[in-house]
Amino acid sequence: MGILLRLAQFISTRPKREVFQTLLNALKSTLERSFLDAGIPTKTNPDGISFSGLTRISIEELEAWYFGNWKAACRAYSRLPSTVAKKAKYRNSDNISGGTWEAFERECKKAGFFSSGLRKIEAAREIGLQIAINENTSPSLQKFYDGLLLLLGD
């Protein structure tokens, strides 16, 4: 049986979350193998206690990080209500159902921004200038940032 047929059978018989996790693990393993093949020790496979490679895969869109630091979004777009991130559906910014960027776009449109659709690059530039890592509650941002600090030796 070919690998594509086995993959199709796996995907069609398993819950989406399991399929996603399996593919994610395969991607991380491939990246780790690339580091090792290049002779670069990673956090997962260090050379003793030191490493110079780090595998971090950001799953959610950048907009999850905006919900994690909603104050930054409000500083960039002053008409956004400060209470948005306190809504139950947004409290875990990495687990917003229905699409994170779509939720961000909806909230921006309600406040009078991006009436013709979210301009992602513009939003990233504007909010990126305001993001405060130490205020951000996004678990994925914190893991990403902690990994960078480890890699830099801070």
pLDDT digits (tens, 9 = 90+) for 116-148: 999 999 999 999 999 888 899 998 888 888 888
d(CA 14, CA 38): 34
Both structure tokens of 113: 């921004």
What pLDDT does residue 81 have?
97
Q: Quick count: other Cβ atoms within 10 Å of Cβ 45?
A: 14
The answer to whether 140 touches 66, Cβ cutoff 8 Å, is no
- What is each CA distance from 51 to 36, 147, 148, in whole angstroms? 11, 11, 12
Q: Tell the residue number behind the tokens 């593919």, with chain if given.
A: 23
d(CA 112, CA 106): 10
Burial class (CB in 10 A: 0-12, 13-18, 19+), 151: middle
Task: Say if residue 27's pLDDT is above 90.
Answer: no
| Residue of 83 and 6 predicted with greater confidence | 83
| Residue of 14 and 148 predicted with greater confidence | 148
- Give the highest mean pLDDT range of 4-13, 41-50, 89-98, 104-113: 104-113
114 Rama class: left (phi>0) / alpha (psi -120 to 50) / beta: left
